[in-house]
Amino acid sequence: MHIPMMSLEEVLNSVDHSRKKRNHFANLILENPQMLPELLSICSKTNDDISCRASWGLEFLCKKNLTAILPHIDQIIPIAPKVYKHSAVRPMAKVFEYLIIAFYQKKSPDVRRSLTKIHREKITEICFDWLITDQKVAPKAYSMTTLYLLGTEFDWIHPELKITLENNYSTGSAAYKARSRMVLKKIS
């Protein structure tokens, strides 16, 4: 695959929810890693719907090759708390879940080298924000998993996570309650 004659924004405008198109886009970025900073710049255009498409692309890229984003962690983390459209928040939360699973469960040497304590603390803050604000269930579920794993390192997280999940349980959706029960059981 070669760099298209179209701009990255034009390419993103052709990306939809289909796995095929997201996969094609992820391959384009993997084969042209110099495009990643531009992709992140588009992700940061939070008032524009194209930022949602860029976030989908980023998530699919991470699913295919998480190490591709590691040199750009310092650019990604500040974007995440600024996104507010569900179509952008959900993939950002998933990217964090991928990173934290790679760090704590898979013990990926590349991720462990790249994701500093400061990064992990910032991800903790962002995930708690997603958990306590008006978000749909997917980012909340990804945040629960992320925070649970972060709590294996940071002692204060599990007690706070437990309180948050218990306080929001009665108003949560069935999916929220199911994930909450799973996480609460692991904490106990």
Phi-psi region of 107 (alpha: psi -120 to 50; beta: other; left: phi over 0): left
Tally the residues of the chain: 188
Is 124 in contact with 157 (CB distance < 8 Å)? Answer: yes
Q: What percent of the chain has pLDDT over 90?
A: 85
Q: What is the mean pLDDT of the chain?
A: 94
Question: Is the model's pLDDT at 99 over the cut of 50?
Answer: yes
Average pLDDT over residues 66-80: 97
Question: Is the model's pLDDT at 4 over the cut of 50?
Answer: no
Candidates 71, 132, 61; CA nearest to 92 is 61
Each residue's pLDDT tens digit, 117-147:
999 999 999 999 999 999 999 999 999 999 9
Average pLDDT over residues 90-111: 98
Cα separations (Å) of 88 from 4, 139, 150, 165?
24, 10, 22, 23
Phi, psi of 156 (to 5 degrees): -75, -20
Candidates 110, 81, 102; CA nearest to 93 is 81
Question: Is the model's pLDDT at 179 over the cut of 70?
Answer: yes
pLDDT-based confidence at residue 5 (cuts at 50, 70, 90): low
